[in-house]
Amino acid sequence: MSTPTATLTGLATWRYLLEYARRPLNLVLLAAVPVVFVALSAGALADFGRILGAETTFGQLEAATAGWAAALLAGVAGFFHVAGSRDADHRIASAGSATASVVTARLASSLLLAAVAAAGALLALAVRTDVADPARAVLATGMFAVIYLGIGATIGALVRSEVNGSLLLIFVWMFDVFLGPGMGNADSLVNRVFPAHFPTLVMLDASTGHAGPLGDLGASLTWTIGGLALAFVALVATTRPARARASASSWSRLRYGLRFAWREYRRNRALWVLLVGLPIFFITLSIATTPDDPAPVELAEGGQRSVTVLSMVDVHGAIMVAITVAFLTGLAGLFVVLGSAEGDRRLVIAGFRPREVLTARLGVVTLAAALVSAVSLAVTAFSFAPKVWVTFALATFAIALTYGMIGVVIGPLVGRLGGLYLMFLLPFLDVGLAQNVMFDAAPPSWAAWMPAYGAVRVLVDGAFTPNFNETVGLVLTLSWLIAITGAAATVFHRLAAPRN
């Protein structure tokens, strides 16, 4: 007697949830990200939105951060929930299970994760502030989560590379949030095509008429249902059983290791499109949407610190370089080391010394940091000219390299999913909030303990003063870079060592 399809789907859904829960860090981060994003940064993000011209109340902007946090969590959970089980689901379908049942179970378990993400974000919001319209906040946050769950699951089904897929997902989210109606003018033509445009309008209660007869709520529901439908179609297409197919010297080793490590990542064209293309669009659009208002910034000159009023366009242009390179190179470092772990271990067994493999991999991270820095600086040069280009460029490269090495350290310790969460949160808290001179003329006291503190002080000094005044910042920058590179070497050496 055959088991009913509904029962099989329910059992598979439960097994998929248990599979996710077996990694305790997944559950910890599913709870921690909303707390950090909403409870700690909602005020700063709301201030940022008001600075950029968002036409709504402060409380509504704070409420929108719950939707943004739920969207990121649900999207990342959906992506890795699908990408990490793509081959297993394909084998289950090939063994005789109905493809639709396998896909339905995978999406059902992902929806439960999205519900947890939305609940965590709303709880963090409720702890932080009084929610003026709870029903609106719950509905909009749920739509944020489901829309990005569909996007993450679709990318997980179609994009084979985890680094490409996660980069694509995160930067869709970043463009959506930081160029959307919550961070500027709701009538902008640029942000109408973004997935969270209409849910953000629902959350902010800021109707624009963009949706026509559907209204903002109808358009949001269309995006929500459409995202799930797109994910279902993509998963069915990639899970369906396929048709059967017919079946030197130390310096030389180092040189060949670096050559083939670079060739491996050079062939990944999608990665380089993201590393080169995203800074161009992200920095250009961010500067273009910034109002030319006065912004106070604390600068050092001749041994004295004073507050100078500058153009917000210039301040945003300078700080966006640091934010962009920290995000991109941190993710590059994370996936460079994780994507090559087994191959590097085989190289060591074959006779390569661990330090030779290490130099090759860190060489790729360094080249990626240099490339992202160069592109970001070139894009910024069209709208902003630092006072001292050399200081500004070296500080940018130091930030990129520091976060590239942090990615190398974090990846082997917490894995892909945990590493992706952390490599989003750490640059966001450090460069995006703590060191961001758009929020405060001087960084808060706790910012001095963050990795980019010294490098951002040097970057701001090179951007707005004609002479070098940040010796302490330079010492901190070099100290962090040396320490984190040493930690990266230690972690990599253990990762590449042959297992018994």
Write down which residue in 214, 243, 272 finishes a domain.
243
The last residue of one of the domains, among 195, 221, 243, is: 243
Q: Are residues 454 and 476 in the same domain?
A: yes
In 3D, which of 274, 272, 65, 87 has the Cα closest to residue 169?
Answer: 274
Question: Which residues of the chain carry a pLDDT beneath 70?
Answer: 1-60, 86-98, 184-191, 207-213, 241-276, 289, 339-356, 441, 495-500
134 and 157 assigned to the same domain: yes
Residues 259 and 236 grouped into a single domain: no
Same domain, 328 and 450: yes
Per-residue confidence (pLDDT) for residue 255, from 0 to 100: 58
Which residue segment(s) compose the domain that 1 sits in? 1-243
Q: Do 477 and 347 share a domain, yes or no?
A: yes
The total of structural domains in the chain comes to: 2
Assess whether 198 and 112 both reside in one domain. yes
pLDDT in tens, 112-128: 878 888 888 888 788 77
**Do 209 and 291 reside in the same domain of the chain?**
no
Give the end of a domain, one of 208, 243, 278: 243
Q: Is 258 found in the same domain as 157?
A: no
Together in a domain, 314 and 462: yes
Instruction: Give the pLDDT confidence score for residue 14 in this predicted structure.
Output: 58
Residue pair 344/253 in contact by the 8 Å Cβ criterion: no
Q: Both 332 and 466 in a single domain?
A: yes
Do 349 and 367 fall within a single domain?
Answer: yes
Q: Are residues 326 and 186 part of one domain?
A: no
